[in-house]
Chains A and B, each alone.
Chain A
Amino acid sequence: MSPIPPAIELRQLTKRLPSGDRMLTILDHVDLAIAPGEFVAILGPSGSGKSTLLGLAAGLDRPTSGEVRIDGVEIQDLSEDALARLRRAKVGFVFQAFQLLSNMTALENVLLPLELKGAPHPIARARALLDRVGLTERGHHYPAQLSGGEQQRVALARAFAPQPRILFADEPTGNLDGTTGARILDVLDELRAADQVTLVLVTHDASIAERADRRIYLRDGRVERVESR
C-alpha cells in the first residue's frame, strides 16, 4: 500500500515578478509539505510572500519555477480549465476582503460554487450552511446590507459549500475587530473539524496562529522557521 501523499507539497517553489527594469523575487526556492487534515498558519511581515505562497499553492497563480502538488498531482503546468476543475473539486477560499459578489444575495453567493459543481439540491445545502454560520435569516440580504463579520461568515459558508479537501484563508479576520474575528475563527474551526479539511491560513496575528498545528514563518520569500504545537 502506497503512503498517503501530502495534501499540498511545494518543491523549490520560486516566483519572480518584473519591477521596473529588474526582476523582484517574491518567493525563493520554498519547500513545504502539508499533511491531509493539517492546520498550517503562514506568518511573516508585509511583503514576505505569504499571499503569493497561498495563491501558488491554490493554483490561482503560476510559479516561475518549482512544483506544486495537490494530493500528489502536479498542478503548475495544468491548463486554466484543468486548474478551474481542480479548484472546483478540492479547494475553498476565504479572503480578507470577503470577496462576496455584490450583486448576489448571501444565499446566492453560497449557492454559486454548488451550481458550478453541479451539486444535488444546491439551495437546501446553501441554506443549511447559512444556518450553520448563524445567518439563517439573512440569506436574502445583499453583501452591502451585512456587517463585516456577517459577510465573512457568508464567505465561510461559501468556502465550505462544495465540501473542499483544502481551505485557503488569506487574513480572514484582518478586516474585523477582535471579538468578531474570534467568532469567525470559532466557526472556521468548527466547520473544518466537522469536514476534516486541510487549512492553510495566512495571518499577521500570532494569537490566531496559536490555533494552528504548525506555524511557518516567511521572510524575504524564504521559510525562516517552522514551529509545531
Chain B
Amino acid sequence: MTGRAYFRHLAREARGARGRILFFVLCLAVGVGAVVAVAGFSSSLRTTLAREARQLLAADVKVRGQKPLPPAIDELLAADPSLRSTRITELVTVASAPLVPLAPITAGAAAAIRTQGAGAGRSQLVELKAIDGDFPFYGTLTLSPSRPLAELLAGGGAVAAPELLTRLSLRLGDSLSIGGKLFTLRGVVTAEPDRLGNAFALGPRLFLSGESLRSTGLIALGSRVGYRLLVRLPDGAAPAAATALATRLREALADPAFYRIETAAEGQPELRRGVDRTERFLGLVALLSLIVGSVGIAQTVRAWLASRLDSIAVFKALGARPREILSLYLGQIVLLALAGSLSGVALGLGLEHLVPAIAGPLLPVQPEIAFEPLAILRGLALGVGLALLFALPPLLAAIAVPAARVLRREIEPLPPSRIALVVTGLCLGLGLVAVASFQARSLRLGAAFAGGLLLTAALLALAARGLIVGVRRLPRLRLPLPLRYGLAALGRPGAPTVASVVALGLGALVVVGMRTVEVGLTSRLASDLPTAAPTAFLIDIQPDQWAAVRAEIDRAGATSVDSVPVVMARLKVIDGKVVEDLAESRDKERARGAERESDDEEESGQRGRWALTREQRLTFLDKLPSDNTLTSGKLWSEPGVAEVSVEEEYARDLGLKIGSKIEFDVQGVPVELTVTSLRKVRWESFGINFFWVVEPGVLDRAPQMRIASVRMPSGGEQKLQDALAASTPNVTVFAIREVLEKVSAVLDRIAFGVRFLGGFTVLAGLAILAGAVAAGAAQRSREAALGKALGMTRFQVAALFATESAIIGLLAGAIGAIAGTVLAAAVLEKGMDIPYRFAPGAPLVAIGLTAALAALVGLAASARALMQRPLEALRAE
C-alpha cells in the first residue's frame, strides 16, 4: 500500500468515531497533564534555583558553620583586597517590647522615650540575623524606608519583618528589647534574597548589626548560633575563581568538616536534590492517573476494534496482510495518542501555573514558569508509550480474526494461546516497570511502584468482582425501577464494570488514603499530645540563672518542670578515626553515589555527615528517663570506664556499636568515652531527650548550661516568655504547640498537593466510566427508545441511566475508600508509629462524591441516546 493510500485509510477509519476519539484523548490528556505539570514545574524550579543561585546565596561564595570562623580566614581575605566579605551571625532568640521606656542606647533615638502602647511587655521568638559588612552582595533586600541596611542598623538600629511589628504592636521608631538591650526599630524588611521559603521559620526576621548583637551577650557559651561568611568576587570574575576561592577557604579552615562552603556556580545543590526527590514522588502520583487513563484506552480500543472485526475480515479477504492491517490501526492509535498527549501537555502547562498557589510558602523560591521542552517530551513519551502498551493487547487480539468471518459472522477472533497471554502480560508488566522507572529515575523504585500498583489493582479487581456477584444476587424484584435496572446492568454480560470500578477505585484510594494519613498525622501533632507532655522548652539557661528562671516558671503557674544540664561538645575521634576524615569519606561516597538508587541510603549518608559534624549536646544522668528503653548493653556497668549511652538510630548513623571508643572535645578539653549501651527513645513523648547520655561524674565540672521543659496552663507559655524576656533575655522559650501548628500547616499543604494530583486519578477513572458507558451507546439508544415507547418520560429514562452509573461509582468509592483507609492505617501504625483511629468523614464523603460524579458522567455519556427519537433507534435495529 502506498503512503498516500495509507493516510487515506487512516482518515476513513477516523470517520464516525468522534465519541471514541474524544474518550481516548480525554483518558490520556488527564494523566499526561498531571505528569507534565509535575515535571515542568520542578524543572522551572530547578532552573530558577540554578539561574538565581548568586542571588539566593547573596554572594559568590558562602561559608557556614556552627562555630566562629578562625582568624586564618580573616588573614586570607585581608590578603586579597579585590574580595569583599560580610560576616553574618544567626540565632533564634526572643525580642520584646519593653515594659518601661528605658534610655535608648543611642542619643539619636529620641522616639524610643515615648511610652509604648498595647504591646508593652509582650515578647516574640525572632530569627535574628546580625550583619558585619554589606548585605546582600547580590539580590534585593526590600526595605522600608528604602535606605542601605547598614545605615538603618548603625548605632543600635534594628530592622524587622512586618509580622514582628504587628505581634508586638510596634511602630517605626519604637524601642525593642533583645538580650536585655534596647534597640530602635528603624525599618521594615519584606523580602530577603537568601531566605528560601518561610514555612519552617520559627519567628519573624530581625536584623541587627554585628556590633549590636555582641553588645547583648546573647552569644553565650552553648547558644545555638550559626556563623556565615559571604564573599563577593570582583566584577567579571570567572566561575572558576569562586571554586578556587572555595578551595583556599577550605584549606584555611582548621577543621573544614564542620563548615559547609557553597559557590553560586553549584546552584543550590541541596535544594535541587530536594526538588528532585519531591518530583520523583509526585511524578509517580501523576503517573498513576496516566496508568488509570491507559486502562481506559485499552477499553476504548477494545470496543472500537470489536466494531471493526467485520472490516478487518473484509480487509483480509481482499488481500491485506495482517501486518498492513496492524500498521493501519497502530497508526491510528499513535495519532490518537499524540493528540491525547498534546492535549495533556496543554493542560499540564496550564496546571503548572496553579502549583505556586497550592505549594505556597513550601517553595524555596517563586519560580518563573518557563517553557520546559524536556518536561513536554517526558509527557509525550509517557503518554504515547503507555497508550501503545495498553492498546496492543486488544489490537493483536482483533488482528487475529480469521478472514473466513466474511462467510460466517459468528466467527470470532481465535482465543489467544496461553503463551500469547503470558507474553502479553509480561510485556505489560515490564512496560509498567519501565515507565515507572523512567518517571522515578530509579529501577528499584519503579519496580516497587509497578509491583504495588499491579497488586493493588488485582486486589481491587477481586473485590469488585466479588461485590458485583454479591450485588447481582440481591433480590431486586421489589426495588424501584431505576435501582433494579442499575443492579441488573452490573451483571450484563460483557459490561466493562470491573475495569470502571478498579479505575475509579484507585483514584478514590489515593485521595482517601492521603486524607486519612494527613488527618492522623495532624491530629496526632496538634491535639493528641500526651497528657503529661510539656508545653514548652526553655533553652540556653546559664547555670547561675537557673534559680531565677525556676522562680519565674513557678510564678507563671507551671504544673510540672523538668531540667537537665547540657554540655556542648564536638566529636573528635571515633574508634581511632578522626571525625573530619570520616565526614570527608562520607562526602566522597555521596558524590560517587549520585546516581545511587535508594533515597534512604542517600538520606542516611547525609544524616551521618550531619551527625558527625554537628555541635553535640551531652547530658549526664544517673538513670534514664521513663521514655528511654535500653536495647543493648548495660547502663553504668563498668567501673573505671567513662561510659556513654547512645540513641540507637543515631549510633547507626555514626557507625557506633557497644564498645566503641569516642573522643569528644568539650570546650577544648578532650574527654574519652566508651559506648556501653544503646537506647530506644520515644521522641513523641516530647520529654527532654538526648542522643548522648553520659555517666554522672564525668562531665559534672565541664562548662554547661541547662535546658528545661515545663507544662503550663493554656497561654502560660507567652506569659513566661514575656517575663523571661525582661529578666533573663538570653533564655529562649519554644512553645511546642506553636511549633506543632507550623509543622501541621506544612503537612496540610503537602497532603493537599498530593490529594490534588490524586484527584487526577479520579478524573481518569471518570473518563473510563464515560468511555464504557458511551461504548454501549447503541444498546443504550435501543433501551432508551424501548423505555420511551413503553411510555417512560425522558426524565425517567435518564434516572435509569444515572442510577446505573451511580451504583458503579458507589461500588468504586466503597472499595477505594476501604482500601485507602486500610493502607493509610497501615502507613500510620507501622510506618509512623501513630495509632490509627477510624474517622468516617473522608471515606463517606469520597463514596458519596464518587457516586455523584459517576452519575453525572454516566448521564452526560448517555445524552445522545436520551435525545434520540424512539423510532430512529428502533429503525436502526
Q: Does chain A bind chain B?
A: yes
In the complex, A88→B319 CA distance in Å?
Answer: 4
Q: Provided the pairs A115-B5, A118-B1 are in contact, do residues A51 and B407 lie with their beta carbons within 8 angstroms? A: yes
**A75: Cβ under 8 A from any B Cβ:** no
Residues in chain B near residue A101, CB distance under 8 A? 12, 311, 314
**A206: Cβ under 8 A from any B Cβ:** no
- A93's partner among B5, B9, B406 (CB-CB below 8 A) is B406
Which of A36-44, A54-62, A210-218 sits within the interface?
A54-62
- Chain A 173-208 per-residue mask, 1 if CB under 8 angstroms from chain B, else 0: 000000000000000000000000000000000000
Expressed in whole angstroms, the minimum distance between the Cβ of B448 and any Cβ of chain A is 41
**A35: Cβ under 8 A from any B Cβ:** no
In the complex, A87→B322 CA distance in Å?
Answer: 13
Q: Verify B403–A88 contact, CB threshold 8 A.
A: no
> Most chain-B Cβ atoms within 10 A of its Cβ — which of A86, A104, A112, A122?
A112
Q: Dominant SS at the A interface?
A: helix
**A84: Cβ under 8 A from any B Cβ:** yes
In the complex, A47→B82 CA distance in Å?
Answer: 103
Residues in chain B near residue A116, CB distance under 8 A? 1, 5, 318-320, 324
In the complex, A118→B2 CA distance in Å?
Answer: 7
Q: Verify B319–A60 contact, CB threshold 8 A.
A: no
> Most chain-A Cβ atoms within 10 A of its Cβ — which of B15, B311, B317?
B317
- Chain A 148-173 per-residue mask, 1 if CB under 8 angstroms from chain B, else 0: 00000000001000100000001000
In the complex, A114→B502 CA distance in Å?
Answer: 46
- A84's partner among B16, B319, B406 (CB-CB below 8 A) is B319
In the complex, A5→B15 CA distance in Å?
Answer: 45
In the complex, A102→B406 CA distance in Å?
Answer: 14
**A2: Cβ under 8 A from any B Cβ:** no
**B418: Cβ under 8 A from any A Cβ:** no
Q: Which residue of B lies closest to A93 (CB)?
A: B317
In the complex, A158→B317 CA distance in Å?
Answer: 12
In the complex, A51→B403 CA distance in Å?
Answer: 13
In the complex, A217→B164 CA distance in Å?
Answer: 105
Chain A interface size band reads 35 or more
**B581: Cβ under 8 A from any A Cβ:** no
Q: Verify A108–B404 contact, CB threshold 8 A.
A: no
Q: Which residue of B lies closest to A118 (CB)?
A: B2
Residues in chain A near residue B320, CB distance under 8 A? 84, 88, 116
Chain B interface size band reads 20 to 34
Expressed in whole angstroms, the minimum distance between the Cβ of B183 and any Cβ of chain A is 82
- B317's partner among A80, A87, A108, A115 (CB-CB below 8 A) is A87
- Chain B 8-20 per-residue mask, 1 if CB under 8 angstroms from chain A, else 0: 1100110110000
In the complex, A103→B311 CA distance in Å?
Answer: 9
Which chain B residues (289-317) contact chain A, with CB distance < 8 Å? 310-311, 313-317
Q: Dominant SS at the B interface?
A: helix
Residues in chain B near residue A11, CB distance under 8 A? none
Expressed in whole angstroms, the minimum distance between the Cβ of B490 and any Cβ of chain A is 31
Q: Verify A51–B408 contact, CB threshold 8 A.
A: yes
Expressed in whole angstroms, the minimum distance between the Cβ of B326 and any Cβ of chain A is 11
Residues in chain B near residue A84, CB distance under 8 A? 316, 319-322, 324
Q: Verify B407–A88 contact, CB threshold 8 A.
A: no
Residues in chain B near residue A170, CB distance under 8 A? 407
Residues in chain A near residue B313, CB distance under 8 A? 99
Which chain A residues (116-150) contact chain B, with CB distance < 8 Å? 116-118, 122
| In the complex, number of A-B residue pairs with CB atoms less than 8 Å apart | 86
In the complex, A132→B263 CA distance in Å?
Answer: 84
**A221: Cβ under 8 A from any B Cβ:** no
Residues in chain B near residue A158, CB distance under 8 A? 318
Q: Verify A81–B407 contact, CB threshold 8 A.
A: no
Residues in chain A near residue B696, CB distance under 8 A? none
Which chain A residues (88-113) contact chain B, with CB distance < 8 Å? 88-89, 91, 93, 95, 97, 99, 101-104, 108, 112-113
**B323: Cβ under 8 A from any A Cβ:** yes
Q: Verify B15–A103 contact, CB threshold 8 A.
A: yes
In the complex, A93→B314 CA distance in Å?
Answer: 9
**B402: Cβ under 8 A from any A Cβ:** yes
Q: Verify A85–B406 contact, CB threshold 8 A.
A: no
In the complex, A84→B323 CA distance in Å?
Answer: 10
Residues in chain A near residue B324, CB distance under 8 A? 84, 116
Residues in chain A near residue B15, CB distance under 8 A? 103
Q: Verify B317–A103 contact, CB threshold 8 A.
A: no
Q: Which residue of A lies closest to B411 (CB)?
A: A61
> Most chain-A Cβ atoms within 10 A of its Cβ — which of B15, B404, B409?
B404
Q: Verify B318–A112 contact, CB threshold 8 A.
A: yes
Q: Which residue of B lies closest to A100 (CB)?
A: B314
Q: Verify B403–A99 contact, CB threshold 8 A.
A: no
Q: Provided the pairs A87-B317, A101-B314, A103-B15 are in contact, do residues A115 and B2 lie with their beta carbons within 8 angstroms? A: yes
Q: Verify B16–A60 contact, CB threshold 8 A.
A: no
Expressed in whole angstroms, the minimum distance between the Cβ of A20 and any Cβ of chain B is 16
Q: Which residue of A lies closest to B313 (CB)?
A: A99
In the complex, A87→B310 CA distance in Å?
Answer: 17
Residues in chain A near residue B13, CB distance under 8 A? 103
Q: Which residue of B lies closest to A144 (CB)?
A: B876
Q: Verify A55–B404 contact, CB threshold 8 A.
A: yes
Residues in chain A near residue B323, CB distance under 8 A? 81
Residues in chain A near residue B310, CB distance under 8 A? 99
Residues in chain A near residue B322, CB distance under 8 A? 80-81, 84
Q: Verify A99–B314 contact, CB threshold 8 A.
A: yes
- Chain A 53-88 per-residue mask, 1 if CB under 8 angstroms from chain B, else 0: 011001011000000000000000000110011111
Q: Provided the pairs A103-B12, A104-B12 are in contact, do residues A87 and B407 lie with their beta carbons within 8 angstroms? A: no
Expressed in whole angstroms, the minimum distance between the Cβ of A158 and any Cβ of chain B is 8
Q: Verify B402–A60 contact, CB threshold 8 A.
A: yes
Q: 22 A-B residue contacts at CB 8 Å?
A: A52-B407, A55-B404, A60-B407, A61-B404, A80-B321, A81-B323, A84-B321, A87-B317, A87-B319, A88-B319, A88-B320, A91-B319, A95-B407, A97-B409, A99-B313, A99-B406, A101-B314, A103-B15, A104-B12, A108-B8, A116-B318, A118-B1
Give me 12 other A-B pairs in contact (C-beta within 8 A), A85-B321, A103-B15, A116-B320 excluded.
A52-B407, A58-B317, A86-B319, A91-B319, A97-B409, A99-B310, A99-B314, A101-B12, A102-B311, A113-B319, A116-B319, A118-B5
Which 4 residue pairs spanning A and B have beta carbons closest together? Answer: A88-B319, A115-B5, A87-B319, A84-B321
